[in-house]
Amino acid sequence: MDDVLTGLLRPKGIAIIGASATPGKIGHTVVKNLIESGYKGGIYPVNPTADEILGLQTYKSILDIPDHVDAAAITIPAKFVLDVVKQCGEKGVKGLIVITSGFSEVGETEMEHELVRIANEYGMRVLGPNVVGTLSNSDALNASFAPFLPLNGSASLVSQSGALLIAIDAITYTRRIGFDKLVSIGNMSDVNFGDMVSWLDEDKNTKCISLYIEGLKDGRRFIDESAKASKPIVVLKAGVSAHGAAAAASHTGSLAGVQKVYSSAFRQACVIQATDLSDLFDCTLALSLEPPMKGDNLLIITNGGGVGVLATDSAEIAGLPLTFAPEAVQEELKKHMPSFGSAKNPVDLTGMAGNDWYHDTVNFAFAHDWVDGLVVLYCETAMTDPMEIAKSIHKAVAETKITDKPVTISFVGGERSDKAMQWLVENGIPAYNAPDLAVKAMGTLREYARLQTMKSNPVNNDHAVDKKAALEIINKVRADGRTSLTEIESKKIFTAYDLPVVKTDMVTSEDEAVKKAEETGYPVVLKIVSPDILHKSDAGGVKVNLKDEAGVREAYQTILKNAKAYKADADIHGVVIQRMAPWATEIIVGSINDPTFGATVMFGLGGIFVEVLKDVTFRVAPISESEAASMLDDIKGAPILDGTRGEAPRDKDVLAQVLAKYAYMVSDLSDEIAESDANPVLVYEKGDGVTIVDARIILTHK
Ligand code: ADP
Ligand code: MG
């Protein structure tokens, strides 16, 4: 565990630089909060003029403090911060909690860099600047200007928004969701989300990591740390930055929305994505109290048909469609319900269900091997006491001694039901005030289990590549003053990275074209080669299925004529001759450098509709072959590759290998390649592989 970060987040002693005797000032509030939270470590207010603050001795400078201090909370105006950072370094402080604002968020980026530079020079880490502070129940530490410690519990939250952190602090009491730590991460000048995930993963008081993210600064690192983490991570991502709107020359560019790339990256990081603030709480509650759901068999027990039907619908949406439990399970359940009940799924105990029926059915079902997860629903009735029902359910679950299977609950009713649910949560079972939320929470626990099974495979970076050959081509293009490569140049780079490209040769005369066509073997395809014509068909620059010499001669002339008509001053390098690949399923593979995550790779169904359907998926490169395989199943059109309407299944194995190699290429050359695509890639029947027939690369500006 990083002990510098531990010093910052769980300090043994803390100085407050800018401590104030004036109530209402942040420098006063932080001292007051430290005292009121019951913090056991030393609290050292630093103030050059006051003698004492809230009964504590003050110090003129941090260097005057006689004891060791792990952390310093800084609340003085921005222009004085750099000077005290040096003093903190000399004092041997481990971490700075820079509450002061007025840094990069208002354009003072240089000053922020300087702050981090000086701090790091002394081995210190910086939280912020522009933070609310950090809170920890297990350390009775409120080193912030948020009014109190959150409701105690086992989740920890890191928030990029300070205001939201303060609001969440209060919500923990009304929603009854317990947190151990709340950390405000501010401008992330130094400590970023990757650091926090890795540290919290080792923090023994944290069971679930909750994140509110507006924008990552450390995309690839965040993914790597999250994928490594052994604890569930749930994230709420807000804000759409402008970079997606950047002019895009390739297909991939126009398809890569910010949310799409972020969602793909979160998935790759095995992170659960919450849809809104309320969902962030719902997911956090489930993930901090319950284990993952390891199989698909969900059983629902209810006393009301209505909520049962609602839950059944939700189960389908949550990816857990209900199936009937085996006969033997149904037989046993029937013993605990009236004859007009139902032992199918949902199990309807009817409105007559009392404590015993709930206890006995829950106790039996939860222990049964067939059940992978249990949702218990209850509609408040006149004859039953919700608290008694809650206690019966809790007892039934506890008696099974099973801890590796999840249960979620929903009580629908009034105040008594609310109280009963509160009791359940306090006693370790997540409860929600609507049946669909209890089912959705189970869906989250199932998704978490699925993501975990994807974690295993490492990325293979051991591809046979000729990077030198690729760089030679790139350098020649750059020397030519260009950033866009022609198809044949792009294909040479693909070939250097061992990608299967259709045989392609360039010629500059009609006779040569005929000679090459004969060498290649008919039928052939002719295409224009010009860095000024990116979309060749649009310019009438592609002629396919040419069967003989006459066809080649005619195509050659037409293509050149069309190209000149399309763009009179186009720089024409020549014409390519290539083998006419037999028809197959057309897909697109592409890449774009994302400002946050670096090189990303895209896969989707190809053809002319790709930009209309936008049925594509992304991953941050490089990726493992199994990650590549998961991309193939990610898109709506996935069944097409499995062979629809009597067609044979396509060669997904080879396609996944090609995707992984492509991802390796774009990450290995991420300094050079800004965008690229292979559109189309023809995918043949299983066993027959794939062929790339068109290639495009756009270089980075240097
Ligand atoms: P562009 O995308 O610049 O218009 P392409 O090289 O993709 O040009 O060619 C247009 C279309 O022609 C492709 O989508 C594909 O359907 C077909 N095509 C191109 N090259 C071949 C080939 N070698 N074999 C079979 N079909 C091809
Ligand atoms: Mg194309």
Residue with tokens 């189970």: 442
pLDDT at 252: 55
Residue 314 has pLDDT above 60, yes or no: yes
Question: Backbone phi, then psi, for 190, in 5-degree steps?
Answer: -135, -75
pLDDT at 606: 80
Looking at per-residue confidence, does 522 or 457 come out higher? 522
pLDDT at 463: 80
Question: Backbone phi, then psi, for 45, in 5-degree steps?
Answer: -70, 135
Ligand in nearest proximity to the CA of 608: 1
- Encode pLDDT of 67-111 as tens digits: 999 999 999 999 999 999 999 999 999 999 999 999 998 999 999
pLDDT at 258: 65
Whole-number Å distance, alpha carbon 648 to ligand 1 midpoint, is: 23
Whole-number Å distance, alpha carbon 680 to ligand 1 midpoint, is: 7
Residue 455 has pLDDT above 90, yes or no: no
Query: If we measure between CA atoms, which residue out of 662, 681, 677, 690 comes closest to residue 496?
Result: 662
Residue 595 has pLDDT above 90, yes or no: no
Task: Return the C-alpha torsion angle 202, 205, 206, 211, nearest 10.
Answer: -100
Residue with tokens 């620059």: 541
Which range among 38-47, 258-267, 375-384, 667-676 shows the weakest confidence by mean pLDDT?
258-267
Q: Peptide bond preceding 66: is omega within 30 degrees of 0, i.e. cis?
A: no
Q: Supply the residue whose CA is at minimum distance from atom 15 of ligand 1.
A: 680
pLDDT at 243: 45
Question: Backbone phi, then psi, for 276, in 5-degree steps?
Answer: -155, 180
Q: Report the DSSP pairing between strands 71-74 and 95-98.
A: parallel
- Both tokens of residue 99? 């509450």
Looking at per-residue confidence, does 645 or 636 come out higher? 636
pLDDT at 201: 98
Q: Which H or E element spans position 645?
A: none
Task: Return the C-alpha torsion angle 328, 331, 337, 341, nearest 10.
Answer: 100
Pocket test for ligand 1, best of 693, 696, 697, 698 (most atoms within 8 A of CB): 693
Query: If we measure between CA atoms, which residue out of 269, 270, 280, 243 comes closest to residue 258?
Result: 243
Residue 205 has pLDDT above 90, yes or no: yes
Residue 596 has pLDDT above 90, yes or no: no
Instruction: State the pLDDT confidence band at 615, using cuts at 50, 70 and 90.
Output: confident
**CA distances for 473 relative to 458, 536, 578, angstroms:** 31, 21, 20
Distance, CA of 227 to chain centre: 10
pLDDT at 248: 38
**Contact by Cβ (8 Å): 197, 226:** yes
Looking at per-residue confidence, does 460 or 639 come out higher? 639
Instruction: State the pLDDT confidence band at 242, using cuts at 50, 70 and 90.
Output: very low
Q: Supply the residue whose CA is at minimum distance from atom 22 of ligand 1.
A: 580
Average pLDDT of span 615-636: 91
Average pLDDT of span 662-677: 96
Q: Which residues contact 461 (CB under 8 A, 6 or more apart)?
A: 622, 664
Query: If we measure between CA atoms, which residue out of 649, 639, 582, 594 comes closest to residue 618?
Result: 594
Chain mean pLDDT for the chain? 93
pLDDT at 247: 36
**CA distances for 612 relative to 227, 251, 468, 609, 648, angstroms:** 33, 11, 38, 5, 26
Other Cβ atoms less than 10 A from the Cβ of 201: the count is 17
Query: What are the residue ranges of helices labelled H in 45-161?
Result: 78-91, 109-121
Q: 3-state class of 344 per DSSP?
A: coil
- Encode pLDDT of 385-437 as tens digits: 999 999 999 999 999 999 999 999 999 999 999 999 999 999 999 999 999 99
Query: If we measure between CA atoms, which residue out of 576, 531, 578, 558 comes closest to residue 682?
Result: 578
Average pLDDT of span 119-123: 97
Is 559's C-beta closer than 6 angstroms to any atom of ligand 1? no
Which range among 14-28, 133-147, 459-473 shows the weakest confidence by mean pLDDT?
459-473
Q: For 502, which DSSP code?
A: -
Is 20's C-beta closer than 6 angstroms to any atom of ligand 1? no
pLDDT at 255: 59
Residue 666, Cβ density class (10 Å: 0-12 exposed, 13-18 middle, ≥19 buried): buried
Average pLDDT of span 301-319: 94
- The environment of the single-atom ion ligand 2, i.e. residues with CB closer than 5 A, is 679, 694
- Encode pLDDT of 141-188 as tens digits: 999 999 999 999 999 999 999 999 999 999 999 999 999 999 999 999
